[in-house]
Structure formats: C-alpha cells, structure tokens
Structure 1
Amino acid sequence: MAKQEMKIRAGAVDYGRIYEQRIAAHLAIKSALDPEISDFWIVSNIDGVEAFDDIVLMLKDRDGNKKLYCIQLKHLENKTMQARDLETKGSKFSLKKYQDSYDVIDSNIVNKKIDMFKDISMDQIYLILWTNAPLTGREKVKCIHLENVEGMDFLNTSPNSDIVKLHNLPSSESPYADKFFERFYLFARQASATSMDRIIKQELSSHFTDVSNSVMITIIDYFAKWSMGDSRSIKQITKSDVQLKLLEFLLLPHIMEPTNIKDVEIANFDLINETLTSFNIIPIESNAFRVLSNIYSSNKLVLTRLCQTRLDQPWNTDLSGTQWEALKKDPRAA
C-alpha cells in the first residue's frame, strides 16, 4: 500500500507552547555563552507583568548595568500581523491591552510589590511584543507612526525581521501615552517555532564542536520541563545554572564508563567492576589520586577535542568561574 501524506488537524500542534519553550532556551543559552553578560536570570509565565509574562529575562553586564526584558510571544501559522490591529480594541495585538499592562508594571515598581522589580526602574525595562508573523498595512494606522529601529540585535532571531518603535502622530488625538511607547517594542517577522531548533544548534556550534542531535534533544527537553514549573511555581534559572547544564549535557556522551578504565590494579577488579557498574559507581582504590588522574587524562582528550582548547588543570580543579571560558572556543580567536 502506497504511503500517503495526510493533513494535520488544525490546532493539533501547540506551536505557541513550543515557541515559548524554544525562545526561552535560545535566550538562556545565548546569555550563558556571552562573555559580556556577567549574570542573568530567566523565568516564564509569572504574575506581576500582565500580558508580558511569556518570558522575563534580566541581564546584567560587566559594569553592573541591568536590563529587564518582558516579552509576550505570538506565534501565527501562515498569517500576517495587520498594523491596524494595534489600534483595534479587543484584537490579539491591541495596544490598549499592552498599555494597561505597562500601567500595572509601573505601579508594581513604584509600590515595590514584586520582588523581581527591586532595584529596577522603568527606564531599565523593555516591553516586547514578539511574533513570527510579518507586519503589513502600516499605511492604514490612524494615530501612530511605526519606525524600524536598530540596536536590539541580541534578541533578534531573523535577518529579515522588523524591530519597530511606535510614536504618536502629532496631529492625532492618540489614546496612547508617550511614556508607554518609550518602553514598548514590536518584534515582527522573527524566526518561527519550526526554525528554533536549528538556531539553537547554530548558537551552540559557534562555541562548541560535536554538538550532536542527541545532545540537542537533551538540552531542549531540559528547558521544556523547566518552563512547565511544578503547577504552582517556576524557578528562575541563572547563568551558572545554564552553564553547568550545558557542560553536563555536552560532556555526558564522552564520560568514561567503568568498563573502560585502564591501569587500575585492584584484586578481583573485574568482578567488583561488573557488580558496581549496575549501580553506576566507579570503584576507587585507596590511592585514589592515581586512579582519578588516569580517568581524567582520558577525558581531557575529549575536552580538548570538544572545546578546542588545551586543559592543563589537574582533575580536582574547580571548573566554575573563569575556568568556564577555558572550556569554550573563543570565537574572536578564529
């Protein structure tokens, strides 16, 4: 019987949820690998930011400057975003809804009601409406002017995107506040949900070699589970959290199994090894330093090939902090 290609039922795939997970993963990984970012945290679907709750990302640079991005994601399949919908009350892109969200966020900052707004002012906050759909019909808006701007490359996922700032027309009686437009950005024509795995892999491959599909699946699965929280709350993840997870996932396929350990002189080692392997334990003799050095020497070859760097530290070196950079290929050295 010949195989037939069948149409998927409309709504069967939750692209909105997939999009949210992939964009969060991409921004977290990119932030973790950027040497100019000293720290960050990211969280999803939280109270206190109203419509801009899909992703909240706080970045801190080397000089201690902070930026807080509050993002609403709108993934559209084979549709365009009509500019007139911005001025239409009740539409999914209604500026009225986003201005109301701005007012709530501003109140939460002033009244210090939300922990994440401590030590944050409104001029450090960026409110972003983000969609994969192209923006059309700009000439049909009545009260506002839409202007493409630059300077948001870190968040951008598409070379063909439109990053837009909105302004009130001086001749119109606009219902929108200038202070709201100062903090509001529209990201249109961003990468789609189906493109994000490729973009994430490109980001990882620009820093590491041998990023296999199985490693990609593990990384994506981690962020998918994290974004679901525990039904009541979700944990912020930070730069060190993501770095440690990336190291774990990238190195795990190369970790030496107990059956491959060489030069370990223990009586009846084969029997002991066979028994303890089922418990995922590596037996270490009383002179543990020599054994661990042997294991590490083998795995250093993997580190050298994977990260394209020479690792000269002993096995018991702390790999956090500045050692993280030693495990990455510096793209500026290319």
Structure 2
Amino acid sequence: MEDRAMKSKHGLLLIALAICTLPLLSNPIVPKYISEITVDASRWLIELHNPFSDPISLDNYLLVSNTSKASFKKGLFMDENYLVVTQESLENQFHINPSADYIKLVRQDSTVLDEFPFAALRKGQSWSLWADWYYLDNSPTFGQPNDTLNAMCQILGSVTDSLGNPIEGITAYWGHATPWPEDYLHLDSNGGFALRVLASSITFTFEKENYEFLRAYVGAYPESTITVHYTMKVKPANSVAGHRGHQLSSHSLSHNFPNPFNGNTLLTYQLAQDDFVEVSVYDITGRRVENLFHGFQFQGEHRLMWDAFSEPSGIYVFRLHTPNVTISKKCLLIK
C-alpha cells in the first residue's frame, strides 16, 4: 500500500513539473463575445455570450457596423447565458448589410471588445462561433450553446502532377483559414484524401522537393460534399530550391509614409502569395486601436490609409498577420 502511495505521489509530481515547464503563451486567444449572427433582407439577430463568471453590463457599449452604430437599452447584461440581441434591444435604428459587413462590440471609450467581419448567408443559416473562429450552420441555435449537427462538409480531393499521376512523398496539410495551426493531411497511394470538416474557409498546402509550393483555398458549405483536384508543377530547371518557411516569410510590411505623421499615413505591404490577412493598429500598451483590414487578398502589393485624427500623439504599431506570418512596424504620431 505504501509503495502504491509513493508511486501515486511520484506521478503527481511529474505532472506538476510538466505543467510548470510548459512555455507561457505570449499571444493567448482573445476572448470572443459575439457567439452567433444571422442576417437577411428582413431581419438580423446577434447572440452575445460572456464565457466568464462576472456579468458585463452593456449600458456603456455600442454595436457598430460599417454604416451605423447603436447603443444598448439600459439594464442589459452579457453573462453565461446566451443573450439574443434584436433591433428592440437597441436605443436607435441599427443597419447590417446582408451581403457583407463588419460587426463590432465597442465601449463608449472606443475600445473594441469583439469584432466579426462576415460574408453573405443563405436564408436560415448563421455564422456560429467555435473556439475563436466562425463556421456556417444550417440550424442556428440562438439563445443556447452552438452545436455542429448541421454544419459539417465532406471534402473529397486529390493532388497529382500535370499528367495526372500521383506524386510520392508529398507533405500535405489542411486547416481552417484562420491563424490556427494546420493539421497533417494523409494522402493515399493515388494522391487522394477525404475530410469531414466544419463548414468554413479551408486551406490546403502541399510541398515536395523539386515541385512548386502549392496553397489552395476552398469554401466548405454545410451538409454538402465538395470534390477538388490540385496539380503540382515541377519547378523550372533554373529555379532555386525553396522551402515552405521561406515562401511564407517573404510577405513584407514597409514603414508607413510619412513617418512621423500628423493626421493620416499610408501603409504598404507585399504578399508573396494569396493569403488571409489581418492588418491592425495597436498603441504602445498593446491595445488594438483599429482593424484596417480582415479578409482574403491576392498576391501582390496592397495599400491602406490610417486616419488617426481621433488618436492622441504617441508610438503606434502596425501589425500584418496571416495564418503563418506576423510582421510589425512602429510609427510615430505627432500632433
């Protein structure tokens, strides 16, 4: 009995040591409060959920879209229950574009608590939260926890060379088109694969020595089956052998111009390949001041203008973030 107790204590000690030696997260997941949203030409619904035990009063908060903003009626709280917000929950008229919009939950002091850019929905669908990204759901669950019962998509795919022959030794990954890590994708002897995934934007990456790096995106819709095929091309004989990491790190972010600046400034960045991109501005304390862009962009040069007339003088940081690369540049606002 004593020997068993000693082994038990030893096991607990090993677990404790393992926990203590885990690296601290330098960029933990930011809490999400917008849990579900649906919108069509006749109505909209937004579900808010606070995953923490302390309720948050919405008296000093606003809902903001690309074209309007509205304050909440007094006495509403966001807590562990699922609060369904409608037009009747707000003090004034609030408009959401059903084709595409950018919804923010904002404090009166302009601090953004949460935000969600979304694309058009089919009637009866919702964008629902899973971890810190959103999926398409054919059976919305407003007022209760989200489920995935009618939100799965089957993807049947293959990857071959230009002659349709399988390529041995391909390294393949798949993932949701977010900053989440990619997972290994198993290919059979014919280069085929099958996945059952939550409906959202899915990214595939394929690499093989002497072949061009391949990244592809596909929109996965709920309760559907999608068939895809990808072709890997042999690198030209005079090309330099590349590496996936080098490909991704070739995204670049230039210093804004002018810098220092007073009022507004121009930001330029280059994408080495098509990618999902988020460009934000942070103050020196790490608070996000503004999101300048969030979405898919094609390879090439892109420019964004930041209007900082409402911000105080100080040092700010531009951050370019993709699923695999984060680049930051400082700037100085002088008024």
Bucket of the pairwise TM-score, normalised by the shorter protein: under 0.3
Q: Could you say which structure has the greater relative contact order, defined with CA pairs below 8 angstroms and 6 or more residues apart?
A: 1
Give the TM-score normalised by structure 2: 0.26
* Greater strand proportion: 2
**Structure (1 or 2) with the greater helix fraction:** 1
